[in-house]
Amino acid sequence: MGKGLNKMMKEAQKLEKRLEAVRESLATMEVEGSAGGGAIKIKMNCQRDVISISIDPEVLEGGDNEMLEDLLLSALRDAKQKSDETAAREMTKVTGMIPPLGNL
C-alpha cells in the first residue's frame, strides 16, 4: 500500500507543477474584449488583469456618459469571458477536465 500511495503523491506533485506552469503562462496570454463595434476595446491577460483600454474618440464626442459606461462594462465582460474561456482551455490541456473558474 505504501508504494501505491507514494506513486500517487509523486503524480500529484507533477500535476501541481504543470498547473503552476500554466498559471504563469496565463499571465502572458492576452485577450481583447470589445463593444460598440470595436469603439471600446479592453485588453486583459488570462489572469483577469486589465492591460489596456482603448476608446474611439467619436464615442466621447457625443457626451453620453451612460452610453460610455455601458460600452465599457460590455467590453470588460467580453474580455473577462474570453479570459476565463482561454484559462479553462489551457487548464484542461493539463488536467483533462475543466476546472472551476475560482481555481484558475
Q: What is the CATH number of the domain that holds 51?
A: 3.30.1310.10
Parent domain of 79? 2-103
Contact assessment for residue 76 and residue 55, using Cβ atoms and an 8 Å cutoff: no
d(CA 104, CA 19): 9
User: 55-103: per-residue pLDDT in tens?
Assistant: 999 988 878 889 999 999 999 999 999 999 998 888 888 777 656 555 5
Residue written as grid cell 463593444: 35
What is the number of structural domains in the chain? Answer: 1
Tell me the CA distances in angstroms from 4 to 9, 21, 96, one per residue in order.
9, 26, 22
Angle formed at CA 99 by CA 22 and CA 48, multiple of 5 degrees: 60
Q: What type of residue sits at position 80? A: K
**pTM across the whole model:** 0.76
